[in-house]
Amino acid sequence: MAVRFRSKLEGAGMDVWFDEADVVPGANWGDALSKALKTSDAMVTLISPASGRSPRVAREIEFAITQPRYQQRLIPVLLRPTKNYPWILERLNLIDATADLESAPQRVVQALKGTKSTRD
């Protein structure tokens, strides 16, 4: 599901970093993730029961909410129904894609185009 979501975002002109595709075997995953988080303008976090159980996803979200450049640019997308995700995401305008996954990437693009990066 994440691969399809990435493809749709890229098709809309977004430059997307995705750990499963952008970290080559044998590379230091932690270093690659750290660099991506420090240089990205926004973060889209896909929420599902599996991601809700992931300590790694929770750490990525914790990092993003502490960084000024991610203010109003952390976009949570609910892919599958779950209540198991960091509570702070409830305070953000979550995109609910459970009923319409196909339109969710476009809604993310619209949300990101409606906000400015703090680096602009």
Q: Is residue 31 part of a domain?
A: no
75, pLDDT greater than 50? yes
For residue 22, is it within any domain? no
Query: Which CATH number covers residue 76?
Result: 3.40.50.10140
Instruction: Calculate ∠ Cα 53-55-61, nearest 5°.
Output: 100
In a domain, 19, yes or no: no
Strands (E), the chain: 43-47, 74-78, 95-96
pLDDT per position as a tens digit, 23-69: 777 878 778 888 888 888 899 999 999 998 988 888 888 888 888 88
Domain of residue 85 covers: 2-14+41-113
Residue 90 CB coordination number (10 Å): 10
Among 78, 75, 71, which Cα is nearest to 112's?
75
- Does a structural domain hold residue 100? yes
Q: Please indicate whether residue 20 or residue 18 has the higher confidence score (pLDDT).
A: 18
Work out the average pLDDT over 85-110: 87
β-bridge mates for residue 74, sequence order = 43
| Cβ atoms < 10 Å from Cβ of 73 | 20
